[in-house]
Structure 1
Amino acid sequence: MEKENGNEASAQAVLNRNTFSWLWRFTEGKRGTYLISVIMALLGIACMLLSYICLAELIRQLISGGHKMSFYVQRGVQIGILWVLRYTFHGLSTYSSHSATFGLIGNARKKLLKKLGTMPLGAVQAHSSGEYKNIICDRADQVEPTLAHVLPEFTANIIGAITMFIYMMTIDYRVGLWQLICIPAGFISFSVMMASTPKYYPDTIKKTKALNAAAVEYIGGIEVIKAFGQSRTSYGKFVKAAREGADCFINWMQKENFWQNFGMACFPATMLGLLPSGVMYCLNGSLAPADLIVLIILSFRTVTPLITAFGYTDDISKVGEIVSDMADILDEKDMERPEKSRAVPASHDISLKNVHFTYKDKEVLHGIDMEIKDGTVNALVGPSGSGKSTVARLIASLWDVDSGEIRIGGVNIRDMSLKEYNRHIAYVSQENYLFDQTVMDNIRMGREGATDEEVIQAAKKCGCHDFIMSLEKGYQTICGGSGGHLSGGERQRISIARAMLKDAPVVILDEATSYTDPESEAVIQNALSRLTKGKTLIVIAHRLSTIADADKIFLINGGKVEAAGTQQELLADSPLYRSMWESHIAVRKEEA
């Protein structure tokens, strides 16, 4: 029974990764528009078929010499109207499919971005920003031509060709079959060509991703490249990625070129079978000359649409790869949080009990136990790579623990929704990110709906107001991408103001003043002392003198809490902390 359940689960997993299954999810709210597109395409096909029926009748009467001029004028007008209606319906179909497809792409991007917000930070950081940009922006756009045209045009061409072939069979089934004599060769050629797609196309995707990552890395690190004269090495890496990206496409096209050209030559060659057979049947009197002319005209409308339709098969396979990349992200494991909190914390005491955490297949925290009291100042210190920032990120709910638990006010944080828990936490990391917006808007992100005056007051309390006003446009200064128009210290001070505006009861500062100069750090430390009064404060600092007055200091070493207590207690009982303190004092004396 268990084996059967496992097989069913496996089968379901395969089904969920099916391209059309994912596309069906993305079309939510747009399926009616796609249905309209298909109906319009079918109406266009009907008009086309009727126009050819009228044309066939006109040709027969013209050759037989029957009817007056009014008949030909009437049929000509009917054909004209039907042809206008055919392209009107086609236009409406294409418009509907484009509208639905842009909605589908929008839905896919929303789902992807929402997913990134619910994934553990480690899973997000496992891929470069270039990869995410390639999938969410560039590759998502690449499905538009295929999906917007496949439904109306693929449908119209396939069904149109089939209905035209059926009509030809009603005129003379023998000639209708003879025209297909070259079609099998064309099918075989395209089949051979398509068989190589799974072999070569994934490599083009891999090389394109590598090219995007290399480009983002090169542009992002241009300052370091120039400073250290590494332009040749870094540019060489980009050139290599660009060359490999081009070569994989060229190699693929070279392998498929013969089969594609041979197939394109075979498909339109309907006359090789139609003309000899049609002439022979006319000579023996079993086929009227007028019908032969009609069949010749109709044959062009039978195969040409098939060629157009088969032109989309390569694009359809590409859509499968693109959707697969999106599915890889959407299939990532979410953080274990309910949509709605199952309990509300009674206080802001924070406790970590036997917390283990693995990063990149290596356990970095080994049974962490900590007790942080509500309204106290707590510091995490330790050697580089000891796990301080990892603990802070786990408390901030950026990652999930592998085992053990983290509680706030007696409530397991896994029993709280991410939205609810985030209201209790303000987190400022050493790598502060600012958006390409104004200083005012970047600070306002701390609390949605905050007024300009509230933003300014938060900046004043954090000691940021004066330097902001010294900028070219004050609070309306654009920070640039990643805050690139500002110095590292300025970005940190704005990030701290943003966190303070949030006014959360728990504040986590992960070396938040590491980029500031000593004078600015003193101003910020004084401001933080006032602003965090009565809050639960967790600080990671590389300057031990800034946390000497903390209510409790946790010394983390090798992924474990080696010691905990006040400054005096650690100096007396912990050789490692005492050594770190003495080294810090020695450095300060040298700087003085």
Structure 2
Amino acid sequence: MENKNPMLRLWELGENQHSGLIKAIFLSIVGVIFGMIPYFAASKIIIGLLNSNLTKSEIIFWCTLSITGYFLKAILYNLSLSFSHKATFTILKNVREKVLFKLPNLPLGTILDTSSGKIKQIIVDQIESMEVPLAHLLPEMTANVFGPLLILIYLFIIDWKMALLSLVSIPLGFSFMSAVMKNYPQKYAEAVETSQYMNNTVVEYFNGIEVIKAFNQGKSSYSKFIDSVKANASFYYNWMKECQLPMSLSKTIVPTTMITILPIGWIMYINGSLSIESFITTIMLSLGITGPLLAAMDFVDSLAKVGTIIDSVDSILLAEEQEHSNVPVKFSSMDIKLDNVSFGYNEDTEILHNISLDIKEGSKNAFVGPSGSGKSTIAKLIAGFWDVSKGNISIGGHDLNNVPLEQIYDQVAFVSQDNYLFDESILENIRMGNLNASDEDVIKVSKLSGCDKFINKLENGYNTIVGNGGTHLSGGERQRISIARAMLKNSPIVILDEATAYIDPENEDIVQKSISNLVKGKTVITIAHRMSTIVDSDKIFVVSDGVIKNSGTHEELLNSDELYKSMWFAHINAKDGEEND
């Protein structure tokens, strides 16, 4: 990942809103310039009074000009903020959309390795925190630095000695601030990490509330939750406490330009090396330097945060995507082929080792093997959730790397034991399989998947809101809805990853019939913990330690493979035990 200047990267993210931000910067600069007019006017009035040559009309002129400058500054400032905020909120919307569109293109492992608390903080909190740098820092800090610079140039024209004297307090004051800012990026990064830990703990606490109650671990779990909140608060308290004294000294010392200008300027005036006009003008304009600079100081905090914010956002935006062609292909068949496929979720650990297998179109296939052997990993590679490290996977003779991801997803319906339901109606959750489906289409597949009866018994029927993750429904009901959703998708390849894991015995027959309806005429891959569900498969692949140990029909494997034989009899004995109970 290329390291760019954070502000340049922030500007780059602005894309089509540059014109609005430039207008905001320009208006803000002009506004600051108009804001200097009262200082010029005041110096002219004081000089005129000292020289006793100021007329009433001149006083009215300078007062009117001063008021006009003040109001023009206020008007231009508000116009500047209007342009900058319109541009900024559009940019924030675009960045959030980029992040959300980016996530589906990342390997599933990248998503799973990132906590939901961290992703939430990036999408909601950290992108939101870009509002200050974009809407305020760019226009206001630029203007508040540019305005004093113009005054300083003018002061050097009047008298270079007095110009230098007007600057003495500024570097001294900023030196205290620099002591704080030196470690600011590191401190802010630690603050983000602390907040992320708190967010993760909060999410974990609420997601695991059922387990916490079931095992009576409320006290210990709540203590972890409280400790994370207190740690977050304690970090910010101690950090702010460290910053309080130097920041207070900085803001106190910077405006004290009069400490040097008044005594030394008076001595220079008495000695005849400085005119009264230059003396008064320097006094007034030096006051106009520190005001904008103090306003600019308020944005140093935001400026220091920019690097960490941009790094967090770019951790998603610039993350490595799955590399696939954008040109759709034409499938002549749904034959699936794995050729010497090796894969690991991390570079250090390889899970699959030189896997080769063939799956014919329209056939029923199954992967069996011990837990952690690599069965689900093979299925997810076929579904396009990851790209293989070595070897290749093809569907219909097309290497998956040469097929657009969207087209791969269209070919595969993936039903797992943990299919997620959104906090919407049952109707809309099933319609996720095909957003163009009518209500009648949804009801039709619901009947085929055995959902219709239990749905109609609910108070609001198909309009029942299922809750976050489907928590208002039982595991078996959620599973049948996910099968209906896959059925509505009508993809030629169906992958069932432990799809009957949550089904109770009395509903197993209903679910098996719904699965039969789902897979009719499809290329089927089943990963099952219930061996009886895969005995009629055309081919069963025995997976162990990341390799294909054997393959064949149920009868062939019973006669030739000891691992399969042991798994089958373990299943039969367990089933007999259940029946005896």
TM-score, normalised via structure 1 length: 0.93
1:76-97 per-position Cα deviation (integer Å, ceiling 9, x unaligned): 3333233222111111111111
- Counterpart for residue 139 of structure 1: 126
Instruction: Check whether the contact 1:176–1:274 (CA below 8 A) recurs between aligned residues.
Output: no
Q: 1:31 aligns with which of 14, 18, 30?
A: 18
Task: Give the corresponding residue for 1:4.
Answer: none
2:94 aligned with 1:110, yes or no?
no
Q: Which amino acid aligns with 1:59?
A: I
d(CA) in 2 for partners of 1:477 and 1:578? Answer: 45
CA contact (8 A) 1:186 1:267 kept: yes
The count of residues paired between Structure 1 and Structure 2 equals 578
Deviations 1:106-135 (A, max 9, x none): 222222222221111112111111111111
Alignment correspondent of 1:262 = 249
2:334 equivalent among 348, 364, 374:
348
2:509 alignment partner in structure 1: 522
- Equivalent in the alignment of 1:547: 534
Q: Deviations over 1:468-495 (max 9, x none)?
A: 1222211111122222222222211111
Q: Does residue 439 of structure 2 align to residue 452 of structure 1?
A: yes
2:108–2:386 Cα contact (<8 Å) kept: yes
How many angstroms apart in 2 are the aligned matches of 1:288 and 1:27? 50
Q: Note if 1:77 corresponds to 2:77.
A: no
The SS at the match of 1:401 is coil
Quick check: 219-228 or 106-115, which moved more? 106-115
What aligned pairs does 1:185-196 form with structure 2 within 5 A after superposition? 185-196=172-183
Q: Distance in 2 between matches of 1:184 and 1:130?
A: 42
Q: Which moved more, 1:382-391 or 1:284-293?
A: 284-293
Q: Which residue of 1 aligns with 2:304?
A: 317
- For the 8 Å contact 2:36–2:288, the answer to whether it is kept is no
Residue 141 of structure 2 is aligned to residue 124 of structure 1: no
Aligned to 1:237: 224
- Whether 1:367 aligns to 2:354 is yes
Q: Work out the CA distance in 1 between the residues paired with 2:54 and 2:235.
A: 63
The residue aligned with 1:217 is 204
Q: Distance in 1 between matches of 2:62 and 2:5?
A: 49
Tell which deviates more after alignment, 258-267 or 379-388. Answer: 258-267
The reply on whether 1:398 has 2:378 as its aligned counterpart is: no
Cα deviation code 1:281-323 (max 9, x no counterpart): 3434554556544433332221121122122122111111011
Letter in 2 for 1:353: D
- Aligned equivalent of 1:383: 370
8 Å contact kept, 1:131–1:212 = yes
Q: Which residue of 2 aligns with 1:478?
A: 465
Tell me the equivalent position of 2:410. 423
Deviations 1:390-434 (A, max 9, x none): 111111111111111111001111100001111111111111111
Do the aligned residues in 2 keep the contact of 1:90 with 1:152 (CA within 8 Å)? no
Corresponding residue of 1:565: 552
Determine which of 487, 498, 510 is the counterpart of 1:511: 498
CA distance in 1 between counterparts of 2:8 and 2:77 reads 27
Find 2:143's aligned residue among 133, 142, 156: 156
Distance 1:68 1:471 in 2: 88
Residue 499 of structure 1 corresponds to 486
- Corresponding residue of 1:10: none
Consecutive unaligned residues of structure 2, counting only runs of 5 or more, are: none
Q: C-alpha distance in 2, partners of 1:34/1:490?
A: 52
* Structure 1 residue 248 corresponds to structure 2 residue 227: no
Distance 2:221 2:558 in 1: 47
Letter in 2 for 1:86: K
Q: TM-score, normalised by structure 2?
A: 0.94
Partner of 1:536: 523
Which residue does 1:277 correspond to in 2?
Answer: 264
CA spacing shift, 1:430–1:21, aligned 2, 3 Å: farther
Q: Of residues 415, 419, 423 in structure 2, which corresponds to 1:432?
A: 419
Match of residue 576 from structure 1? 563
Contact map agreement 1:208 1:245 (CA 8 A) in 2: yes
* Contact 2:39/2:288 (<8 A) preserved: no
Q: Distance in 2 between matches of 1:481 and 1:64?
A: 79
Query: 27-36 vs 290-299, which deviates more?
Result: 290-299
Which whole-Å CA distance do the structure 2 matches of 1:483 and 1:100 have between them?
38
Measured in 2, the distance between the counterparts of 1:358 and 1:348 equals 26
Q: Deviations over 1:30-88 (max 9, x none)?
A: 11111111121122123223444344333333444445433333333333233222111
Give RMSD over aligned pairs: 2.0
Q: How far does residue 441 in structure 1 lie from its aligned partner after superposition?
A: 1.3
Q: What amino acid sits opposite 1:212 in the alignment?
A: N
Which amino acid in 2 is paired with 1:273? T
Does the CA-based 8 Å contact 2:198-2:232 persist in structure 1? yes
Contact residue 497 and residue 526 of structure 2 kept, 8 A: yes
Q: Specify the code of the residue in structure 2 equivalent to 1:347.
A: S
Shift of residue 255 of structure 1? 3.6
Q: Which amino acid aligns with 2:254?
A: F
User: 1:22–1:327: 8 Å Cα contact kept in structure 2?
Assistant: no
Whole-Å separation in 2 of the counterparts to 1:579 and 1:370: 23
Aligned partner letter, 2:252: A
Cα distance in 2 for residues equivalent to 1:21 and 1:491:
48
Structure 2 contact 185–307 (Cα < 8 Å) conserved: no
Deviations 1:329-364 (A, max 9, x none): 2332211212223x4321001111111111233211
Q: Per-residue deviation at 1:137? A: 1.0
Identity of aligned residues (%): 42
Query: Are residue 92 (structure 1) and residue 92 (structure 2) matched?
Result: no
The C-alpha deviation readout for 1:563-586, integer Å capped at 9, x for no partner, is 211111112222221221122122
Secondary structure at the aligned position of 2:550 is classed as strand
Unaligned runs of 5+ in 1: 1-12
In the alignment, structure 1 residue 334 sits paired with structure 2 residue 321: yes
SS of the equivalent of 1:404 reads strand
CA distance in 2, matches of 1:455, 1:20: 50
C-alpha separation in 1, matches of 2:567 and 2:112? 31
Per-residue deviation, residues 212-245 of structure 1 (Å, max 9, x unmatched): 1111111111111111111222222223323332
8 Å CA contact 1:49, 1:163 repeated in 2? no
**2:455 — aligned with what?**
468
SS in 2 for 1:249: helix
Q: Distance in 1 between matches of 2:218 and 2:553?
A: 49
Shift of 1:280: 2.4
Q: Distance in 2 between matches of 1:562 and 1:399?
A: 23
Between the aligned partners of 2:5 and 2:560, the Cα distance in structure 1 is 61
Match of 2:343 in 1: 357
Q: Is contact 2:327-2:403 (8 Å) kept?
A: yes
Matched, 1:409 2:383: no
Return closer, same or farther for 1:67/1:331 CA change in 2, 3 Å cut-off.
Answer: closer
- Alignment partners' CA distance in 2, 1:476 and 1:499: 19
Question: 8 Å contact 2:106–2:322 — kept in the other structure?
Answer: yes
Q: Which amino acid aligns with 2:435?
A: E
Residue deviations 1:138-169 (CA, integer Å, cap 9, x gap): 11111212321102210121111122233344
Give the whole-Å Cα distance in 2 for the aligned partners of 1:33 and 1:181: 37
Amino acid at match of 2:136: H
Letter in 2 for 1:377: K
Is it true that 1:58 corresponds to 2:45 in the alignment?
A: yes
